[in-house]
Amino acid sequence: MSAAEKKSLQCELTRDHFTAVATMHGTEGRRVTVTGQLSCPSIGFTLHLEKDDPGINPQPNELVLKVVEEKPDGVVPPVLTDTEVSGYFPVKPEVDTVVIRNLDITVPVKDE
């Protein structure tokens, strides 16, 4: 991921406030729920997680994600606002780490 892609987010990680929990879902298999919080420059931002390109040498134990933000419409007051983000992802049994590329963080997966 390029430096421009990393800096394209207006919302920032203010502390390591992400978790990843794996659960089994019957015939659907294992699923990881990733949740976290970013500090956005105003109210009205919407955040979600998407799978990202794992690169030329993907690691089988990693789920690679990116945060995507949608900026608010119109004029909004510039007030720092903690904003939640979460996502659910089917994974293989060997996945034990979530990498969020555009935040440059790794989160260990805990089994529930």
pLDDT tens track for 4-31: 555 578 999 876 789 999 999 888 789 9
Cα 16 from Cα 38, distance rounded (Å): 10
* Cα–Cα dist 42/22, whole Å: 32
- pTM, full prediction: 0.88
List of the chain residues with pLDDT < 70 = 1-7, 15
Res 7: pLDDT: 55
